[in-house]
Structure 1
Amino acid sequence: MTSTDALIHGLSADLAPVRRRSVRRELAAVVGLAAAELALILMAGAMRPDMGSVILSPFMAWKIGGLALLAGVSGAVAIRSFAPPAASRRDLMFAFALAVLVMAAGVFVTSAAESGEPLLERLSPARGLRCAVAIVVLSLPLMSLLALLMRRAAPVHPKRSALATGLAAATCGALVFTVCCPANDPLYIVVWYSAGIAAVAATARWLLPRRFRL
């Protein structure tokens, strides 16, 4: 045995086997955690009281359907970016473009009565800030889980993966929050949900890559 072989053998002798990644298992873990948060909200009785009457309205279809689409796409982008050959830049651009399209679609579910109200009344800053904070709080456990999955993988571009992780966690958190959010104005949703999602994505982008520095 050569000295190089001996060195390699010495370095690898005590290594434990690594469990192979499973995208399905990772996605299931994220969905399971989001479902657990939803269950806790329902058990606490925090669901909006008129959910039964508004669930089939065009507004709720846009609100829940759009966020579900964004959460699914951004979650897939994040987990895909953890693998070395992933083209995360293109996937991220697609996710952000989709977010813009979903927000723009809110114009088609805005009623004439809502559009005629004063801007400050439509935005309702005090309530909007509470909604944004709630989205951040719901997103933190999901961001922690995705950060753990990212840490166990081998992302070639950790900054892009971190941004995708924040976007995925935030959109999942926002989707869970829709069951208790009483707001019906699309402008309110676009502004304050975007604020909460942007805060989580920015935090993930700033915080997570630090763990990959040599």
Structure 2
Amino acid sequence: MTSTDALILGLSADLAPVRRRSVRREVGALLVLAAGELALILMAGGMRPDMGEVILSPFMAWKIGGLALLAGVSCAIALRSFAPPAASRRELAFAFALAVLVMVAGVVVTNSAESGQPLIERLAPARGLRCAIAIVVLSLPLMSLLAVLMRRAAPVHPKRSALATGLAAATCGALVFTVCCPANDPLYIAVWYAVGIAAVAAAARWLLPRRFRL
């Protein structure tokens, strides 16, 4: 046995077996966590009281459908980025472009009564800030789970993976929040949901790559 072989054996002797990565298991964990948050909101009576009346409206179809699409795409990009050599800039650019398209689509479901109101009334800053904070709070457990999955995997570009992780967690958190958000104005949703999502994505981009420094 050569000295190199002996060195390799010595370094690997105490290594514990690594569980093989399963994307299905990771997706399942995300769904369970998001469903758990939703269940807690429903048990606490946090669902908007008129949900039964508005659930089939064009506005709610845009709100829930658009966020569901963004959450699905963002989660797929994030999980894909954990395995080399993924985490391409094109995928992240596509996610951001899709977010812009979803927000622009809100113009279609804006009624004349809403569009005629003063801008400050439509934005309702005090309530909007609370909505953004709620999205951040709901996103944190999801971001923590994705951070663990990211740590267990082998991302080649941790900064891009971290950004994708933040975007995925934030869009999932925003989707869960739709069940209790009373706002009906697409401009309000586009602005304050974007604020909450951007805050989570920025925090993930800044915090998560630090754990990958040697």
In structure 2, what is the equivalent of residue 66 of structure 1? 66
* Stretches of 4+ aligned residues off by more than 3 angstroms: none
State the Cα distance separating 1:87 from its structure 2 match: 4.1
The aligned runs of 1:178-193 (5 Å cut-off) are: 178-193=178-193
The aligned runs of 1:34-113 (5 Å cut-off) are: 34-113=34-113
Distance in 2 (CA, whole Å) between partners of 1:89 and 1:96 is 11
RMSD over aligned Cα atoms: 0.5
Which piece of structure 1 moves more, 89-98 or 34-43?
89-98
- Cα deviation, 1:65-112, whole Å, max 9, x if unaligned, reads 000000000000000000012142111111111101100100000000
Q: Which amino acid aligns with 1:205?
A: R
Q: Which amino acid aligns with 2:27?
A: L
| Residue 179 (structure 2) pairs with residue 197 (structure 1) | no
State the Cα distance separating 1:31 from its structure 2 match: 1.1
Q: Which amino acid aligns with 1:91?
A: E
In structure 2, what is the equivalent of residue 212 of structure 1? 212
Q: Secondary structure at the match of 2:181?
A: coil
State the Cα distance separating 1:53 from its structure 2 match: 0.3
- Cα deviation, 1:100-146, whole Å, max 9, x if unaligned, reads 11001000000000000000000000000000000000000000000
Distance in 1 (CA, whole Å) between partners of 2:150 and 2:80 is 10
In structure 2, what is the equivalent of residue 162 of structure 1? 162
Task: State the identity %.
Answer: 87
User: What number of residue pairs does the alignment pair up?
Assistant: 214
Distance in 2 (CA, whole Å) between partners of 1:20 and 1:88 is 23
Distance in 2 (CA, whole Å) between partners of 1:167 and 1:160 is 11
Distance in 1 (CA, whole Å) between partners of 2:198 and 2:87 is 22
- Cα deviation, 1:4-23, whole Å, max 9, x if unaligned, reads 00000010011111001111
Structure 2, unaligned runs of 5 or more = none
Structure 1, unaligned runs of 5 or more = none
In structure 2, what is the equivalent of residue 119 of structure 1? 119
| Contact kept? 1:77, 1:88, Cα under 8 Å | no
State the Cα distance separating 1:54 from its structure 2 match: 0.1
Q: Which amino acid aligns with 1:12?
A: S
In structure 2, what is the equivalent of residue 128 of structure 1? 128
Q: Secondary structure at the match of 1:16?
A: coil
In structure 1, what is the equivalent of residue 175 of structure 2? 175
Q: Secondary structure at the match of 1:18?
A: coil
